[in-house]
Chains A and B, each alone.
Chain A
Amino acid sequence: MSLAVRVIPCLDVDNGRVVKGVNFQNLRDAGDPVEMAKVYDAEGADELVFLDITASSGDRETTYDVVRRTAEQVFIPLTVGGGVRTAGDVDKLLRAGADKVGVNTAAIARPELVREIAERFGRQVLVLSVDARRCPEGTSTPSGFEVTTHGGRRGTGIDAVEWAARAAGLGAGEILLNSMDADGTKDGYDTEMIAAVRKEVAVPVIASGGAGGLGDFAPAVASGADAVLAASVFHFGDLRISQVKDALRQAGHPVR
């Protein structure tokens, strides 16, 4: 009896439509989120993540509607992130049908937000999303990894490993670790970054950024990831969920 490695497709949602582009630029339309959620559920996805990339700039009713319609038809856990700034935002998403909520930038600006959300809704609803990269030349942090904002374009100088550990202590139930260097490259996950965070954090870690081939998933798990997340390789049909699970199983990792 052991916990299965979760395989999680991430749908970047812009105005009610799924999009994903290399390094978050050159966005391409890849379909209706509700329909895609049903397909992924049928294919064996263990969870779904919706990242609302227009959240900070506009009306969120479209997002709540997409979440509501998805939760009516799909009976696996759904995490929704993007533009979550207050415990009130979390409340609205949970009421719409999200099971967990991803928090990113707002927690960097005000770490207490993590504690507030955890105390009000329980730590199991809170996924702390960390967009991290290797420190560029001329800068450094103790771990060599730093937290970024603005889709990886801005460094913060905050140590990514320390931030993940601190957030877990404040009440984050899970860390979604996104390598901004690897994101969109299809060259594989940043396994060193995963291992560095795993060493300091006792809550589940979801590896994100860089998945390209079937051989990329097992190394992320071997480095300490509890779950593997990918987007474009699934949306454009390069890889199927079942193939990823077969590859993990062959490498000796339990899957559903």
Chain B
Amino acid sequence: MSKRVVVFDYGFGNVRSAERALAHAGADVEITADFDEAMNAHGLLVPGVGAFAACMRGLTEARGDWIIGRRLSGGRPVMGICVGMQVLFSRGVEHGVETAGCDEWPGTVEPLHAPVVPHMGWNTVKAPQDSALFAGLDAEARYYFVHSYAVRTWELEPAEHLRAPQVTWSHHGEPFVAAVENGPLWATQFHPEKSGEAGARLLRNWLETL
């Protein structure tokens, strides 16, 4: 049986690209911001492009932050992509102005320091050995990034009774967080839906956990 995935439609993200790539990877996909649909789907995918502040405002207006929190309390999988990953952190800083995020993870989304920004194109990542998200993908695999802001420091302290989150890093001018797997909450800074075969494999890896 194919897994039902809702691509959360809050006005900030290329929802059609995400839908097509997930369908291609074998999911039964719906684009919606409906509360019940978003709560009940096997997986919730949160896309996002543009500015952190605008995305967070759109997400809040659609009650997306609350839906994400509710799903996670029940152990139901959520995956954020690009700015959809960034808004999961505590805060974003753009042009010196700080905006609160969903605060699922401590940390700050800040301007990426590199000679050429946006970081635009195909880059490699360093994933933990036992990563489920990157299972079957070799170290040479490249993923499509488009962003000017990033999480440059992973701030979540390890807790004794909890499994440590798996953090994947990439590098453009400086190291930054490229992906996170933390219980039911996964996220990528890059765009798996635009990352060709490697991206398709990664989406299938996520679908398999739903």
Contacts and interface: CB of A to CB of B under 8 A. Distances in A.
B193 A75 contact: yes
Greatest chain B CB density within 10 A among A41, A76, A94, A122 is at A122
B96 interface: no
A1 B121 contact: no
Greatest chain B CB density within 10 A among A1, A123, A174, A202 is at A1
A75 B199 contact: yes
Contacts of B118: 123-124, 173-174, 203-204
A92 B51 CA distance: 20
What's the interface size class on B, roughly?
35 or more
Interface of A is mostly: loop
A1 B170 contact: yes
Contacts of B142: 4, 256
A236 B168 CA distance: 41
B14 A75 contact: no
A169 to B, nearest CB: 13
Contacts of B63: none
A69 to B, nearest CB: 11
Contacts of A243: none
A2 interface: yes
Interface in A49-87: 71-72, 75-77
A72 B120 contact: no
A122 to B, nearest CB: 3
B196 interface: yes
Contacts of A256: 122, 142
What's the interface size class on A, roughly?
20 to 34
Contacts of A97: 16-17, 20
A227 interface: yes
Nearest to B170: A1
Interface in B63-111: none
Given A75-B199, A204-B120, A3 B172 contact: yes
Interface stretch (B2-10, B144-152, B157-165, B181-189): B144-152
Nearest to A68: B16
A95 interface: yes
Contacts of B193: 75
B115 A202 contact: yes
B20 A124 contact: no
B60 interface: no
Contact of A99 (B14, B116, B148): B14
A75 B116 contact: no
Interface string A129-150: 0000000000000000000000
A227 B16 contact: no
Contact of A4 (B49, B116, B122): B122
14 contacts: A2-B124, A3-B119, A3-B123, A6-B122, A46-B122, A75-B20, A75-B193, A75-B200, A121-B49, A122-B51, A123-B148, A124-B120, A174-B118, A203-B117
Given A124-B148, A202-B117, A204-B120, 11 more contacts: A1-B123, A3-B172, A4-B121, A4-B122, A76-B196, A77-B146, A97-B17, A173-B120, A203-B118, A227-B121, A256-B142
Interface of A: 1-4, 6, 41, 46, 71-72, 75-77, 94-95, 97, 99, 121-125, 173-174, 202-204, 226-227, 256
